Structure 1
């Protein structure tokens, strides 16, 4: 099957804003409901393992959805897929607000995860309309939307949740998430032009695993997918046990944990929005990606090595002033280093995949990348929990750090494969000249 792109539309500011908002809304909607999900589930008489299952169901939905929507957008175009997924998000959030029991809530979270699996379609649109040398920068803007949504969503969710109002107090953030998804759908209709031509309906459709087979034989994509799997598993593992770890070491509560993750979101947003593209153009995508992996691994090790107590007392007496001292204050700084590393990953991974994939397979390959990320978010916390309970509180961090070393090596090897492909493509032209 061959699908040639339509003449790339001139990328107008409103179109880029809509693409940015689609990703941003996905993360805001996710972040809006995350703070209230445990309490919302408790109002449905849920047990702890059922509450955890609500989180896993969302990632499981994304795992199946990203490759499907990516392949479908290669065939029918990016715009209809974005509209379908945003509509699914709107309906999913509204359904969640009115579910009568926890099992339906889990099913709705799975459905919402299926609708949220449109990141690869957004990345495919950006690749369609962006020259290769500028893709890392624009993919960085998409990554910045992730970070910004991660900042705004939980904050809004916490502010809008009003337990004293009963069930309605938990529904208000969910209603806002549904409204934002509907607004993004309107923006897609009004501002976004299609970037691809529709495929021939008579053309044979590739089997479901065709994209996976293509990825396995592609020396760049196969390595990059493993990099995604490793770094997302490390992050989701750290995220899942960080509250327990910081509580046992520093007696932290939800406030300190939330502020730490807010710092991660701020650093990720700034780095991807302003520096990721510039660094990639200067040093190359593979080198920047490898550096990001090692920075993330170093931050995990530094978290473990941070002293348990930095001060002999919890307050500092200075000139008659009593200043409270927060044990573990260095941890957010260490996490900021890890955020720098992680924020270099997504835009450069997406750019490398788009460079190494033919135009009619970019959506499918980017979808597989997001599926790899979803697998990591499903199993990373499970492994972290086993390590945390079985071997010790520091082991999820140490194992995650160790895995970033082969990930960095794979990133460098993927860059070499890209350069070998470029040399092979230029050789016939040189022989004819």
Structure 2
């Protein structure tokens, strides 16, 4: 791996840190504004729906004008949006801030395009694994920083407000922005031809991408895996807090565990697995463990049992997204990396929107046990996605080198 890769990996880590700081508090922050579960699910969804439309535009523009300027715009949007959210005086401002963050989103897909620019095909899966590990490392530190921010805020005018985590998130995103401006060189060697139509920004690719050979089926698989995973992510926090009677401190420790195991798997784990397994085989194994774990989680409402199942889940869950990204990158031409990875991130974003909405309408906050229903549903649906991916494997599989 060359110097440019490690620079973008560092930026990805800091960016992921900014993102993961918000994971433990978004649900609780929504409830602070008196939002019910359905309304809080929309708080998750508005970010994702905005990102769905914005990401392919940012991806295509990065193919035209370069990776660096689009990464700067995207990170700047995150900084502004999180500072707005952290100081929001009403739910309306909070919703607008999440929309702004989504509409300027896309930095993950641009970072993936940079990785594609600076790595060889034989190192692509390993590189995406390391990049995934950077996100996992953010998962370790982000929740801990979020908890510290909340404790410190108690002695400030913010008081007992989860908005402090958003302010810290915006500050950290600003560090990633400065690193991008001053240290990341442009990595795009061959720029895509500029369209004669100024408004041709790639939204049509959201549809035509589904018909791309090899790519289309991977977009469908990515959407479905994201949909089922986000049913889990929305239900996980209220299930952990209300059903098995834990608090925000132990919730933070759970996210720390997810992050530690994820980093181990995405660095050492993926490298070892690639020596024996093909990329698609690793993907199938990850989906299998994910589906079984989801279905097992709500069977027994006991914290020790739940932690054991979550350990099983963490060990293989973190390989799913890097393998899908690697397959999409390896099946794309060099000049289309930004566009295709942007479309991929866009479909992942829309799944991030639908997943919480489905979970939000399945649960009933007057019946805490219903928070287990989305976990069962996610497990069944993930297993169906595994079957679908297995049956279609000949249309997208590539051999590991």
Q: TM-score, normalised by structure 2?
A: 0.86
Partner of 2:256: 262
Is it true that 1:404 corresponds to 2:353 in the alignment? no
Alignment size in residue pairs: 390
Contact kept, 8 Å, 1:93 with 1:112, in 2: the verdict is: yes
Partner of 2:8: 19
CA shift, 1:90, in A, is 2.0
Distance 2:47 2:159 in 1: 23
Distance 1:401 1:38 in 2: 22
1:34–1:282 distance in 2 versus 1, CA, 3 Å: closer
SS in 1 for 2:174: helix
Is it true that 1:66 corresponds to 2:55 in the alignment? yes
Distance 1:279 1:344 in 2: 10
Is it true that 1:184 corresponds to 2:166 in the alignment? no
Contact kept, 8 Å, 2:147 with 2:252, in 1: the verdict is: no
SS in 2 for 1:298: helix
Task: Spell out the pairing of 1:255-404 with structure 2 (5 A cutoff).
Answer: 255-305=249-299, 307-308=300-301, 327-389=302-364, 392-404=370-382
CA shift, 1:108, in A, is 1.4
Contact kept, 8 Å, 1:290 with 1:407, in 2: the verdict is: no
CA shift, 1:224, in A, is 1.8
Partner of 1:130: 119
Is it true that 1:139 corresponds to 2:128 in the alignment? yes
For residues 236-262 of structure 1, the C-alpha deviation after alignment (integer angstroms, 9 at most, x for no partner) is: 212222244345653333344332233
Contact kept, 8 Å, 2:54 with 2:106, in 1: the verdict is: yes
CA shift, 1:128, in A, is 1.6
For residues 26-64 of structure 1, the C-alpha deviation after alignment (integer angstroms, 9 at most, x for no partner) is: 332233344455666677x55446555433322223222
Distance 1:279 1:39 in 2: 38
Distance 2:89 2:345 in 1: 31
Gapped regions of structure 2 (runs ≥ 5): none
1:163 to 126, 137, 154: 154
Distance 2:21 2:250 in 1: 19
Distance 1:50 1:392 in 2: 17
Q: TM-score, normalised by structure 1?
A: 0.80
Partner of 1:315: none
SS in 2 for 1:329: helix
Return the index of the structure with the highest Cα Rg: 1
Larger displacement relative to structure 2 (115-124 or 257-266): 257-266
Contact kept, 8 Å, 1:271 with 1:344, in 2: the verdict is: yes
CA shift, 1:195, in A, is 1.9
Distance 1:194 1:260 in 2: 38
CA shift, 1:89, in A, is 1.8
Larger displacement relative to structure 2 (162-171 or 174-183): 162-171
Larger displacement relative to structure 2 (60-69 or 382-391): 382-391
Distance 2:361 2:164 in 1: 36
